[in-house]
Amino acid sequence: MASSLQNVVLPTAGLGTRLLPATKVVPKELLPLVDKPVIQYAIEEAVALGVTNVVLVTNPENTLTAAHFSRNYELETILEKREQTETLDTLQKTTPPLNITSIHQTLPLGLGHAVLMSRNVLNDEPFAVILPDDVIHAEPPVLQQMTEIFQEFGGPVLLVERVPRESVNQYGIIDASIIRDGVFRVNGLVEKPEPSQAPSDLAIIGRYILTSDVFQELEQTREDEGGEIQLTDGLRSLSKQRPLYACELSGVRHDVGSKLGYLKALLYFGLKHPDLEPALREYIKKIQ
């Protein structure tokens, strides 16, 4: 789908502590989900929307993530000589025609800070933020769902998902008024509230479509008790200046930044792989 949205920011500077020691050397976004690294799912979602510019916000020691999107001509030549055309085609799809810019976040100062660092390369244009930890399978792709709302209302759009009330203290939660099924006007945002104080069970998850005026709010956002600049706090300030909207997820999300979420995602996408599904399903039956 072609759209006016040409820019996406992928914050990848996290330390992956929930998956240690697997992420001691390999960045968590490069851990494999069947036959693709986690970040490839995010890139394919952006490419399907027609995005042309990607900003990777990484830590200075991480050179592997950007390298994944570079051509490996030696390997391609070997595959071509061996006439492994299907494998070659799959490999070349990892290097889509994108302008990829890497920005180093030297300290993990929060998602709001990571987004703020992308300001100088976005030219005041609207942009999407994809958190690669949230791998989402949806038809149509979730960014397309959100872009349609953005084009209709002309304001920032957050992706939300209903979560159990006892889990709201793990998320940013919105106070919302329903516009229609699956679409909300955001009246307020609360970062990790206690269940008794949460305004709803609608949790903000890893997709945003934002406008450049968010940067001014993030510049004025104070660090939280953990020394981080939270995107939710910046969005709360922005909501006082202009309307924000929310799109309720229609699809399946996996938090692959946790061990259990990663294992569930492996099974989910393994069962959707046509070459693996029959044998994998039989193996699951065998070990139950």
What is the per-residue pLDDT for 200? 95
pTM of the model as a whole: 0.92
pLDDT in tens, 136-150: 999 999 999 999 999
- What average pLDDT does range 223-242 have in this prediction? 91
User: Which residues have C-beta within 8 Å of that of residue 108, sequence separation ≥ 6?
Assistant: 13, 14, 15, 59, 228
Pick the CATH number of 7-287 from 3.40.50.12160, 3.40.50.300, 3.40.50.720, 3.90.550.10: 3.90.550.10
> How far is the C-alpha of 141 from the C-alpha of 49, rounded, in Å?
8
Name the band, by pLDDT with cuts 50, 70 and 90, for residue 244.
Answer: very high
What is the per-residue pLDDT for 40? 94
What is the per-residue pLDDT for 1? 40
What is the per-residue pLDDT for 134? 96
pLDDT in tens, 42-94: 999 999 888 999 999 998 888 898 888 888 889 989 999 998 888 888 888 77
- What average pLDDT does range 156-169 have in this prediction? 96
246: pLDDT strictly greater than 90: yes
Name the band, by pLDDT with cuts 50, 70 and 90, for residue 3.
Answer: low
What is the per-residue pLDDT for 124? 85
- What average pLDDT does range 187-195 have in this prediction? 92
Name the band, by pLDDT with cuts 50, 70 and 90, for residue 98.
Answer: confident
The counts of H helices and E strands in the chain are 10, 13
> How far is the C-alpha of 190 from the C-alpha of 59, rounded, in Å?
28
The domains of the chain are located at 7-287
- What average pLDDT does range 100-116 have in this prediction? 90
Name the band, by pLDDT with cuts 50, 70 and 90, for residue 2.
Answer: very low
Name the band, by pLDDT with cuts 50, 70 and 90, for residue 258.
Answer: very high
Strand bridging mode 134-137 / 252-255: antiparallel
Beta bridge partner(s), residue 157: 209, 245
28 in Cβ contact with 14 (< 8 Å): yes
Whole-angstrom CA distances from 182 to 4, 40, 145, 175, 249 are 22, 27, 10, 14, 8
> How far is the C-alpha of 102 from the C-alpha of 159, rounded, in Å?
25
> How far is the C-alpha of 203 from the C-alpha of 270, rounded, in Å?
27
> How far is the C-alpha of 31 from the C-alpha of 37, rounded, in Å?
5
DSSP class per residue in 169-196: GGSEEEEEEEEETTEEEEEEEEES--GG
